[in-house]
Structure 1
């Protein structure tokens, strides 16, 4: 079973980036990215990658990000 932890601050995003944990992305209460690795982020955009050629760009203000951790 996994734990979902909401990523809110730059420190949260940096920790997920450093550890290479999988994240989920929700927009308008729907999942738009199920299990990706955080590649890069800034104050406006979060970039995730789910496969070698699949990069997704998410607007930080319009989405919710959750770190997937195993118990």
Structure 2
């Protein structure tokens, strides 16, 4: 079972990037990306890498970002 924590602040995104936490990204209540890690972010965009050659650019205002934690 997984626990989701919403990322909202710059500190949340920075922690997720530093710890290379896996994410789920929702847009219009649908999953648009899952399992990637944050490469970089700014006030408008979050760049997520899911595999070696798979980069996705998501609008920070248009999407919801959740850290995916595994329950132990």
Considering the TM-score relative to the shorter chain, is it more than 0.5? yes
What does residue 68 of structure 2 align with?
Answer: 68
In the TM superposition, what is the alpha-carbon distance from 1:34 to its structure 2 partner?
Answer: 1.4
- 1:31-70 aligned within 5 A: 31-70=31-70
- Distance in 2 separating the partners of 1:2 and 1:15: 19
5+ residue gaps, structure 2, are: none
- Structure 1 runs of 4+ off > 6 angstroms? none
In the TM superposition, what is the alpha-carbon distance from 1:2 to its structure 2 partner?
Answer: 1.5
Report the TM-score, using the length of structure 2 for normalisation: 0.95
What does residue 21 of structure 1 align with?
Answer: 21
Secondary structure at the aligned position of 1:5 is classed as: strand
- Distance in 2 separating the partners of 1:34 and 1:18: 18
- Distance in 2 separating the partners of 1:55 and 1:49: 5
Q: CA RMSD in A?
A: 0.6
Report the TM-score, using the length of structure 1 for normalisation: 0.97
In the TM superposition, what is the alpha-carbon distance from 1:16 to its structure 2 partner?
Answer: 0.2
